[in-house]
A and B are shown apart, each in its own frame.
Chain A
Amino acid sequence: MSGKAAGKVTGLQISPWNLILLLPLLMLVTPWFNFDKPRVLGLPFFYWYQFLFVFVGVVSVAVVYVMTKGKPVVTGKPDRLAAEELDEGEK
């Protein structure tokens, strides 16, 4: 179908910041935290460590969101568009 404005983003846009999304996957390495001690507020390490990872997950996604927001994601090519009109543009 035609009718799309010319010069728009297409294909795969890779930002190195996206790699931060892999960080929370470290949570899957169970031998690192499958212990009872030390306990915090009575919770064994196994449990509070994983609760902590909820925040790692939130921060990772938030960092990627903030760092890729409103930036031209195409590099190496002439950027004819205002940044906010591009893919990750705000507004």
Chain B
Amino acid sequence: MALAQAPGSGLQWVELSVFVLLFLVVSVMGFVASRWRAAASLDHLDEWGLGGRKFGSWITWFLVGGDLYTAYTFVAVPALVFGAGALGFYALPYTVILYPIVFLPALRMWSVSRSRGYVTPADFVRGRYGSPTLALLIAITGIVATMPYIALQLVGLEAVLRTMGLNGGGIAGHLPLLIAFLVLALYTYQSGLRAPALIAFVKDGLIYIVILVAVFYLPSKLGGWSHIFDTSAQALSQPNPNTGKPKGSILLTGTNQLQYITLALGSALALFLYPHSLTGVLASRGRNVIKRNMIALPAYSLLLGLLALLGYVALTAGVKPITNAATGNADSNTVVPVLFDTQFPSWFAGIAFAAIGVGALVPAAIMSIAAANLWTRNIYKEYLKRDATPSQEAKQAKIASLVVKFGAVAFILFIDPQFSIDLQLIGGVLILQTLPAVAIALYTRWFHRLGLIAGWAVGMAWGIAMLYSIPNPNTKRAHFGGSALPLKDLSIFGWHPFPGSMVQIYPGFVALIANLVVAVIVTVIARSLKIFNGTDDTEGTDYHADEHDKDLRPIGAAH
């Protein structure tokens, strides 16, 4: 049962042993994966970066699920509920509306990519608009938005390591993380997308066991859900010493309902624009695989909702976040690990930590592969080496995946993790600005490429400016303090359309609207001036291609 020592203060040997054992099993699987359903050679992006584009329903389910529901979701969403209450539950509607929204566009994206050999969203934009500039913007946005996302996986992994007692200061404090990541980097290099795909089975098996035990065992131990909600409501109504207002509530308040809605909708629209989620979709065998997955994937949403509720369980259990020895601040990401540590027997806590730890590695691997694909296809091949052969491309992507991963580690080493969470926040706002060029272009080529570029620039600039203006009263930081913008602060060139309104909104959503408005205006102008709008490589039939079409492009073909 609960150990006498406080979590995070000393080494938990049992937990650590179970964790290391499971970690080793997973690493072996990662290396073996290169031989799993392998083609003759991995020296092609279709093979290394997309696992041969032949994953069936089950593998895709684990892969996309493993990709979208990351350690960060499992650690940070409950942490948000722990700190603010109902607002943190936005993650549930977000993942419920996600699939109905992306159901049709994801199918078109799969078809056109399969027909034309596209590996990244920027490849598609390049083909659709014949504009290397627009494609470059999309590629850079993708890479920039993905990097802090990978770093956040590390934050989740480190929260677990620190709870197990590996809570050192300085560089030594990051050493366990570095070792874990080195192993990850090596098997991703060797096996490509097959590694996370295979490991995702273990990851999800572990996570499902842990969550089901947690949501049935913990409430029964702590007096039932009704009691948990009542004590949480009590705890959240205590005034925050920094603001003097209640910390949160178990229901939405008048000011954060719009925030809840726009955050859920904005996040849902953003998710499949992230290069890594598209990687999971493109790796599948055919349209029916994707369709079945869109029906089955919400199983994870149930899990996510249950996990979010663990934030309240932690409140009731009186969990105190561990102080991160590297930064000296209380790390709210440790809430769930500490809850497991104090409430579960150590051997089971070890399994739970392994679940979160492996849950961090799978998406980190997929994300680094997606970023590497973007680099290779849309920067290296486009600007540095036009005549790169498929095997040179694969080599380049392998190396890029290493660079990306160590870049993410550098984030953690040299920047306060709190800062990387802010960057992730920016990441979401940034990736949302690629929606017109990527998602809308799947349906229509009405937008002019100049309009798309102008809209992107405006959405980007305004989105970042809005995030910059938000202070965080808790950490006393003046900028990048959160993703809730009071409408009274909304300013259009100094004009405040909603003076005095405390109603909050998600800035990414506002920036996207500005992006679309500018894109429409510039498109109308460019069209009336009859400016050339690039050549479209794609054909109408490309958007409906399916796995058994007789004229389908062979996988692993030269471009």
Binding site for B on A (CB under 8 A): 1, 3-5, 8-13, 18, 21-25, 27-28, 30-31, 34-36, 39, 41-44, 46-47, 50-51, 53-54, 56-58, 60-62, 64-65, 87-91
Closest CB of chain A to B121's CB: distance in Å? 20
Q: What's the nearest-Cβ distance from chain B to residue A3, in Å?
A: 6
Q: Given that A30-B260, A42-B224 are contacting pairs, would A54 and B301 also be in contact in the complex, using a CB cutoff of 8 Å?
A: yes
Contact at B544–A10, with CB atoms within 8 Å? Answer: yes
- Which residues of chain B have C-beta atoms less than 8 A from A22's C-beta? 100
What is the size, in residues, of chain B's interface with A at 8 Å between Cβ atoms?
49
Chain B residues with Cβ below 8 Å from A36 are 250-251
A28 contacts which of B250, B264, B291, B295 (Cβ < 8 Å)?
A: B264
Bound CA–CA A27/B229 (angstroms): 22
Contact A13 B99 (CB under 8 A): no
CB atoms of A11 and B540 under 8 A apart: yes
Residues of A within 8 A of B89 (CB): 46-47, 50
Taking A39-B226, A42-B224, A91-B548 as contacts, is the C-beta distance between A65 and B100 under 8 angstroms? Answer: no
| Residues of chain B with a CB closer than 8 A to A1's CB | 537, 539
CB-contacts of B292-351 with A (<8 A): 292, 294-295, 298, 301-302, 305, 309
* Docked-complex contact B96 and A41, CB < 8 angstroms: no
Q: In the bound complex, how far is the Cα of B549 from the Cα of A3, in angstroms?
A: 12
**Contact status A4-B99, CB under 8 Å:** no
Q: Is the CB of B537 within 8 A of A46?
A: no
**B residues engaging A (CB < 8 A)?**
86, 89, 92-93, 96-97, 99-101, 103-104, 219, 224-229, 250-252, 257, 260-261, 264-265, 287-288, 291-292, 294-295, 298, 301-302, 305, 309, 443, 537, 539-541, 543-544, 546, 548-551
Contact of A87 among B225, B309, B546 (CB under 8 A): B546
- Residues from chain A with a CB closer than 8 A to the CB of B301 are 54, 57
Contact status A21-B103, CB under 8 Å:
yes
Nearest chain A residue, comparing its CB with the CB of B98: A57
State in angstroms the CA–CA spacing of A23 and B99 once bound together: 12
| A/B interface sample: 28 pairs, CB < 8 A | A10-B544, A21-B100, A22-B100, A24-B97, A24-B100, A27-B97, A28-B93, A34-B252, A34-B257, A36-B250, A39-B229, A42-B226, A42-B229, A44-B229, A44-B250, A50-B89, A53-B93, A53-B96, A54-B96, A54-B301, A57-B96, A57-B298, A58-B295, A58-B298, A61-B100, A61-B294, A65-B291, A91-B548
Instruction: Give A54 to B291 CA distance when docked, in angstroms.
Output: 17
Assembled-state Cα–Cα distance A47/B232 (Å):
14
Bound together, the chains give a CA A30 to CA B258 distance in angstroms of: 8
Smallest beta-carbon distance B550→chain A, Å: 7
- Interface contact B291-A10, CB-CB below 8 Å: no
Which residues does chain B contribute within 8 Å of A53, judged by CB atoms? Answer: 93, 96
Given contacts A10-B544, A54-B96, A64-B103, 14 further A-B contacts (CB under 8 A): A1-B537, A9-B544, A10-B539, A12-B443, A23-B100, A42-B229, A44-B229, A46-B252, A47-B89, A54-B92, A58-B295, A60-B100, A61-B103, A88-B287
